């Protein structure tokens, strides 16, 4: 009798646990019906409601109603449902897509592989509901997506950095470095605006005079258009540079080129770029008989590496080199290596090493030749926002 009762209790317990598991499975697989928000389900089964900003570089930016702005690794997303219109960038250069095109099964494909519509992701399947119908793709071919309006602030992200050193006493000294970076991303394009400026001044309490010892500014603007997941071209790249202590009143660089993403992983990206450019330089002063300005064609090469050393620590290396004629400075490069440690969601501690070099600097009117190399070690804080 006792054994029968134990068996009955065991069976009832198993049925209860099975019903709980089924209920949990149904809750996790059930798709929300509220069409006022976008929805994201994580691989843990949790559903988040809010607004999808964009997906780029395998990072999903999602503004949760309860958790504010989140950056979610794309591999941690199990399902997604949008109720706003997105521009979805699909890489259709794989063999399967070419075969479908050959069979004319995708005769309405957009030439740029961009589709406008609501987006649904479930496991490895991607569905875009467009005005022409429903398009289905494999998740591995999804490159990026962004809101179809392409004009809102949601497409922008920015980072501001400041390093400041102030000394008071018999002498007064201030060292100041500012960095700023703004990026605008759509499903197919990327626009980057960079600024870095350095200023150092020393003053004497006794005389009341102040002498500026460092003053330079560099602004870069780059526009990229992605052709595939790894290949992009740069229709425009420009730079403005000024450094009176290197005898450069202004140097303007305009160019174009191609780029390739060598590594695109969760914890590391590496891209290389290159192309022709045109340099125009105006000097502060020159020796008698020399031209106050010159111009030259040049070859630009660059690389950018971003890798996560730990969950909180990131390493970023940017290296750009220009190969021009000797009269325009010859080989010149600009390099920044940074370690960024995340203090809060928006604030990072930044330790950066900057190295600028010009192989053939131009002498000023007094015959003084600027040093070939300029080094600077900076420590400050960054504030980033989307």
Residue 25 has pLDDT above 60, yes or no: no
Q: Looking at residues 322-328, what average pLDDT do you find? A: 90
What pLDDT is stored for residue 2 in this prediction?
Answer: 53
Residue 111 has pLDDT above 50, yes or no: no
One domain, residues 133 and 272:
no
Instruction: Give the least confident one: 96-110, 209-223, 233-247, 259-273.
Output: 96-110
What pLDDT is stored for residue 197 in this prediction?
Answer: 94
Helix (H) or strand (E) holding 174: strand 171-185
One domain, residues 87 and 164:
no
Question: Is 52 within a domain?
Answer: yes
Question: Is 19 within a domain?
Answer: no
What is the sign of the dihedral through the CA atoms of 336, 339, 343 and 346? positive
Name the residue with higher pLDDT: 133 or 8: 133
Residue 340's pLDDT band, with cuts at 50, 70 and 90, is very high
Listed in sequence order, the DSSP H helices in the chain are 2-29, 95-102
The two tokens of residue 70 are: 């989140």
Distance (Å, whole) CA 305 – CA 272: 9
One domain, residues 39 and 122:
yes
The two tokens of residue 380 are: 């400050």
Average pLDDT, the chain: 83
Domain CATH number, residue 167:
2.40.160.40
One domain, residues 100 and 248:
no
Asked if 58 and 264 touch (Cβ cutoff 8 Å), the reply is: yes
- Residue finishing a domain among 147, 182, 212: 147
Q: Looking at residues 288-305, what average pLDDT do you find? A: 93
One domain, residues 322 and 210:
yes
- Residue finishing a domain among 98, 116, 147: 147
One domain, residues 169 and 141:
no
- Residue finishing a domain among 130, 147, 164: 147
Residue 4 has pLDDT above 80, yes or no: no
What pLDDT is stored for residue 262 in this prediction?
Answer: 93
Question: Is 20 within a domain?
Answer: no
Question: Is 360 within a domain?
Answer: yes
Total domains in the chain come to 2
What pLDDT is stored for residue 32 in this prediction?
Answer: 66
Asked if 155 and 146 touch (Cβ cutoff 8 Å), the reply is: yes
What pLDDT is stored for residue 169 in this prediction?
Answer: 65
- Tell me the C-alpha to C-alpha distance, in Å, between residue 299 and each of 233, 264, 302: 15, 26, 10
Question: Is 13 within a domain?
Answer: no
Reported as a single tens digit per residue, the pLDDT across 32-59 is 666 678 899 999 888 998 888 888 777 8
Asked if 381 and 352 touch (Cβ cutoff 8 Å), the reply is: no
Question: Is 223 within a domain?
Answer: yes
- Which among 137, 130, 201, 193 is positioned nearest to 165, based on CA atoms? 201
What pLDDT is stored for residue 23 in this prediction?
Answer: 44
Residue 347 has pLDDT above 80, yes or no: yes
Question: Is 294 within a domain?
Answer: yes
Question: Is 378 within a domain?
Answer: yes
What pLDDT is stored for residue 244 in this prediction?
Answer: 93
Distance (Å, whole) CA 221 – CA 235: 11
On the CB side of 219, how many CA atoms lie within 13 Å of its CA? 4
- 313 Cβ neighbours under 8 A, 6+ residues apart: 339, 340, 341, 342
Residue 30 has pLDDT above 50, yes or no: yes
- Report which DSSP code applies to 295: E
pTM: 0.74
One domain, residues 196 and 141:
no
One domain, residues 132 and 249:
no
What pLDDT is stored for residue 101 in this prediction?
Answer: 44
What pLDDT is stored for residue 103 in this prediction?
Answer: 43
One domain, residues 142 and 165:
no
Reported as a single tens digit per residue, the pLDDT across 183-228 is 988 778 889 999 999 998 887 766 667 888 889 999 999 999 988 7
Q: Looking at residues 96-104, what average pLDDT do you find? A: 44
One domain, residues 98 and 177:
no
Name the residue with higher pLDDT: 153 or 282: 282
Residue 327 has pLDDT above 90, yes or no: no
Asked if 133 and 106 touch (Cβ cutoff 8 Å), the reply is: no
Asked if 363 and 287 touch (Cβ cutoff 8 Å), the reply is: yes
One domain, residues 317 and 374:
yes
One domain, residues 127 and 157:
no
Residue 161's pLDDT band, with cuts at 50, 70 and 90, is very high
What pLDDT is stored for residue 149 in this prediction?
Answer: 62
Which domain, by its residues, includes 71? 33-147
């Amino acid at each position: 009798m006792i054994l029968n009762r134990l068996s009955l209790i065991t069976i009832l317990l198993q049925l209860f646990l099975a019903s709980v598991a089924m209920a949990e499975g149904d809750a996790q697989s059930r798709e929300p019906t509220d069409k006022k928000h976008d929805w994201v389900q994580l691989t843990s089964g949790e559903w988040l409601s809010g607004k999808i900003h964009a997906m780029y570089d395998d990072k999903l930016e999602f503004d949760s109603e309860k958790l504010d702005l989140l950056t979610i690794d794309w591999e941690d997303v199990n399902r997604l449902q949008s109720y706003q219109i997105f521009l979805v960038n699909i890489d259709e250069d794989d063999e399967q897509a070419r075969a479908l095109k050959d069979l004319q099964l995708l005769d309405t494909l957009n030439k740029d592989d961009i589709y406008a519509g609501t987006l649904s992701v479930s496991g490895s399947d991607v569905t875009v509901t467009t005005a022409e119908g429903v398009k289905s793709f494999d998740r591995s071919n999804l490159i990026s997506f962004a809101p179809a309006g392409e004009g809102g602030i949601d497409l922008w992200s920015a980072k501001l950095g400041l390093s400041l050193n102030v000394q008071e006493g018999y002498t007064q000294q201030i060292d100041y470095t500012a960095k700023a970076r703004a990026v605008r991303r759509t499903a197919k394009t990327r626009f980057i605006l960079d600024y870095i400026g350095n200023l150092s001044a020393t003053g004497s309490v006794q005389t009341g005079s102040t002498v500026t010892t460092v003053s330079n500014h560099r602004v870069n603007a780059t526009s990229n258009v992605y052709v595939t997941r790894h290949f992009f071209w740069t229709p425009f790249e420009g730079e403005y540079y000024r450094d009176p202590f290197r005898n450069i009143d202004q140097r303007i660089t305009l160019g174009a080129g191609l780029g390739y993403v060598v590594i695109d992983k969760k914890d590391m990206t590496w891209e290389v770029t290159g192309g022709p450019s045109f340099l125009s330089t105006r000097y502060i002063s020159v020796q008698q008989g020399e031209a106050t300005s010159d111009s030259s064609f040049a070859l630009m090469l660059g690389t950018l590496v971003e890798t996560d050393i730990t969950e909180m620590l990131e390493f970023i290396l940017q290296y750009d080199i220009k190969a021009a004629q000797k009269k325009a400075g010859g080989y010149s490069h600009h390099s920044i290596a940074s370690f960024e440690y995340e203090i809060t969601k928006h604030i990072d501690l930044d330790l950066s090493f900057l190295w600028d070099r010009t192989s053939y600097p131009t002498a000023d009117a007094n015959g003084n030749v600027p040093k070939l190399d300029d080094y600077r070690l900076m420590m400050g804080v960054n504030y980033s926002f989307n």
